[in-house]
A and B are shown apart, each in its own frame.
Chain A
Amino acid sequence: MPPVAAQTLYDKIWNMHLVTERVDGTGLLYIDRHLLHEVTSPQAFEGLKLAGRTPWRVDSNLATPDHNVPTVPEERVLGIAGIEDEVARIQVQTLDDNCAEFGIQQFDIRDQRQGIVHVVGPEQGATLPGMTIVCGDSHTSTHGAFAALAQGIGTSEVEHVLATQCLVQRKAANMRIVADGVLAEGVFAKDLVLTIIGQTGTAGGAGFTFEYVGEAVRVLSMEGRMTLCNMSIEAGARAGLVAVDETTLNYLKNLPFSPQGDDWEAAAEAWRGLVSDPNAVFDAEMRLDAAAVEPQVTWGTTPGLVTGISGEVPDPDSFADEATRETARRALAYMGLEPGTAMVDVPIDRAFIGSCTNARIEDLRVAAAVVRGRQVASTVTQALVVPGSGLVKAQAEAEGLAQTFVDAGFEWRAAGCSMCLAMNADRLEAGERCASTSNRNFEGRQGHGGRTHLVSPAMAAAAAIAGHFVDVRELL
Chain B
Amino acid sequence: MKPFTTLVGTVVPLNLANVDTDQIIPKQFLKSIRRTGFGDNLFDAWRFLDEGDFHKTPNERELNHEFVLNHARYNGAAILLAGENFGCGSSREHAVWALEEYGIRCVIAPSFADIFFNNCFKNGVLPIVLDNVSIRKLFEEVEQREGYSLTVDLPAQQILKPDGVTLAFDIGAHAKHALINGLDDITLTLEDAAAIRAFEAAHRANHPWYFPQ
Contacts and interface: CB of A to CB of B under 8 A. Distances in A.
Q: Do A and B bind each other?
A: yes
Interface of A: 16-17, 19-20, 22-26, 28, 30, 32-33, 39-40, 42-43, 46, 51, 53, 56-57, 59, 67-68, 85, 87-88, 90-91, 94, 128, 130-131, 136-138, 152-157, 159-160, 163-166, 168, 170, 202-203, 206-207, 236, 238, 257, 259, 263, 266-267, 270, 302, 323, 327, 330, 421-423, 430, 440, 442-445, 448-449
Contacts of B72: none
Given A20-B192, A28-B196, A163-B186, A203 B89 contact: no
Contact of B119 (A19, A46, A154, A448): A154
Contacts of A163: 186, 189-190
Given A43-B33, A443-B23, A59 B211 contact: yes
Given A51-B186, A168-B185, A423 B31 contact: yes
A22 B96 CA distance: 26
Interface stretch (B3-11, B62-70, B107-115, B151-159): B107-115
B196 A30 contact: yes
B40 interface: no
B34 interface: yes
A338 B117 CA distance: 35
B27 interface: yes
A166 B199 CA distance: 11
Of listed B22, B30, B45, residue having the most chain A CB within 10 A: B30
24 contacts: A19-B192, A23-B173, A30-B200, A40-B91, A43-B93, A59-B211, A59-B212, A68-B31, A90-B33, A91-B32, A94-B33, A138-B91, A152-B91, A154-B119, A155-B35, A160-B186, A257-B212, A259-B209, A267-B207, A302-B18, A430-B51, A440-B89, A443-B22, A444-B23
A448 B51 contact: yes
Nearest to B174: A24
B84 A154 contact: no
A67 B30 CA distance: 10
Contacts of A19: 192, 195-196, 199
B207 A138 contact: no
A17 B203 CA distance: 8
Contacts of B85: 202-203, 206, 236
A20 B194 CA distance: 11
A154 B212 CA distance: 26
B122 interface: yes
A443 B44 CA distance: 12
A23 B190 CA distance: 17
A165 B114 CA distance: 21
Contacts of B20: 302, 440, 442
B90 A170 contact: no
A445 B88 CA distance: 13
A30 B200 CA distance: 8
A137 B91 contact: yes
Contacts of A137: 90-91
A128 B210 contact: yes
B164 interface: no
Given A423-B30, A445-B22, A168 B189 contact: yes
B209 A128 contact: yes
B26 A444 contact: yes
Interface string B154-181: 0000000000000000001111000000
B115 A138 contact: yes
Given A160-B185, A170-B172, A444-B26, 13 more contacts: A19-B195, A46-B33, A59-B212, A131-B210, A138-B115, A152-B115, A153-B115, A163-B189, A164-B190, A168-B185, A259-B209, A430-B51, A442-B20
Nearest to B35: A43
B142 interface: no
A421 B85 CA distance: 21
Contacts of A160: 185-186, 189
B173 A24 contact: yes
Nearest to A204: B85
